[in-house]
Amino acid sequence: MKKMIYDGDPGIDDAMAIILAIKSGVLDLKAITTVAGNVPLEKATKNALKILNLTKRLDIPVAAGMPSPLVRELLTSGPIHGEDGLGGTKLPLPITEDKCIGALDLTIAKILNRPGEFTVVACGPLTNLAEIYSKLPDFGEKVNDLVIMGGAINVPGNVSPHAEFNIYGDPEAAQIILQSDLPITLVPLDVTMKTILTPDDLEQIYEVRTPVAEFAYNALKYYQNVPKHKKLGGCPLHDPLAVGVAIDESFVKTRELYVNVVTDNIITLGKTLVGEENRGELEVCASKHKVCLEVDVRRFIRFFIDTITAD
């Protein structure tokens, strides 16, 4: 099993990604760290606990990270994930004593304890990762790989015409991480906007009457019905695809590209810039990263449904 830490802002698609990791049979989820993004930090942290309670995995520690971006105001997703951040599904919050240390200390401790063994999957604004990187400059040598859901390369953004939500949510943090030589695989909207779960796909989840499948059905039904997703004919599985890439990179095809982030232009703020050569805005980039530009859509959607509905 591949040891993994999930860093995110649950959020409906984060919740599905966490369940996919737990039920994958490939990933050994060792911790969840939360960051403010889709919802404020406290709600994201409670939602992570609700998912672990639902999946009977309260043995996995949850640690809260940064409550706001490095330098800017917090931007949340508003109604896209519902008032509770989980599509109004009203999952119970477990009674847990606060045994967790903070996200940064927990992640650093686990990674230093087993250097080179952890995969970190980051599916929210990259504030926690930027803070960890500032405390642990050799973070890149201590993690096996870092899969990041974020960015928009050859497609429009989803929070502005130029920017994707996780990058836009903390562009300074994203710039620090993407300019680095960390072992990054970037999973941008170019692939996640293709992995659309349709109402027909969702009916296959409805037919399975387990508590996890029922939660997934209700949360994804809400997510499909938000206006911006209705127009797509279904809901994009952004974060589940990032976990899918950590499980089996053959779901995607990647290119090695330098990646930087715009932080000094109000119109294109959060835009991800890429190139084969580190020239111009890319000359500050320490190394290329694997950028996912193609995905085997139906094979991934099949895998997602089969894994979420498995006993």
Q: Which does 201 bind (CB under 5 to 8 A by kind): Ca ion, ligand RIB, none?
A: none
Q: Give the type of residue at 250.
A: S
Q: Give the type of residue at 21.
A: A
| Residue 249 CB, nearest approach to ligand RIB (Å) | 19
Residues classed as catalytic: 238
* Euclidean distance between CA atoms 256 and 274, whole angstroms: 10
| Residue 81 CB, nearest approach to Ca ion (Å) | 9
Among the candidate windows 87-95, 126-134, 169-177, 233-241, which touches Ca ion by CB under 5 A?
233-241
The residue whose two tokens read 């959020």 is 11
Q: Does 14 bind Ca ion (CB under 5 A)?
A: yes
| C-beta of residue 28 within 8 angstroms of C-beta of residue 133 | no
Based on CB atoms, which residue is closest to ligand RIB, 101 or 196?
A: 196
* Residues at the contact surface with ligand RIB, assessed by CB under 6 A: 9, 11, 13-14, 37-38, 123-124, 149, 158, 164-166, 238-239
* Euclidean distance between CA atoms 30 and 11, whole angstroms: 20
Q: Which two tokens stand for residue 300?
A: 């991934």
Q: Which two tokens stand for residue 183?
A: 């072992």
| Residue 168 CB, nearest approach to ligand RIB (Å) | 8
| C-beta of residue 36 within 8 angstroms of C-beta of residue 68 | yes
Among the candidate windows 1-9, 22-30, 132-140, 284-292, which touches Ca ion by CB under 5 A?
1-9
Q: Give the type of residue at 31.
A: A
Among the candidate windows 49-57, 69-77, 187-195, 238-246, which touches Ca ion by CB under 5 A?
238-246
Q: Does 124 bind Ca ion (CB under 5 A)?
A: yes
Strand order in the sheet with 62-64: 62-64, 27-34, 2-8, 118-123, 143-149, 184-187, 289-295, 252-261, 272-275
* Euclidean distance between CA atoms 298 and 91, whole angstroms: 30
Q: Judged by CB under 5 A, which of 15, 21, 123, 241 binds Ca ion?
A: 123
Minimal CB distance residue for ligand RIB: 165
Q: Which does 165 bind (CB under 5 to 8 A by kind): ligand RIB, Ca ion, none?
A: ligand RIB
List strand residue ranges (DSSP E) for 214-271, in order: 235-236, 252-261
Q: Does 87 bind Ca ion (CB under 5 A)?
A: no
| Residue 109 CB, nearest approach to ligand RIB (Å) | 25
| Residue 97 CB, nearest approach to Ca ion (Å) | 27
Q: Judged by CB under 5 A, which of 6, 7, 11, 235 binds Ca ion?
A: 11
| Residue 43 CB, nearest approach to Ca ion (Å) | 13
Q: Does 244 bind Ca ion (CB under 5 A)?
A: no
* Euclidean distance between CA atoms 221 and 199, whole angstroms: 8
The residue whose two tokens read 């040598």 is 141
CA count, 13 A, side-chain hemisphere, 16:
33
Q: Which does 7 bind (CB under 5 to 8 A by kind): ligand RIB, Ca ion, none?
A: none
Binding region for Ca ion (CB under 5 A) = 8-9, 11, 14, 123-124, 239
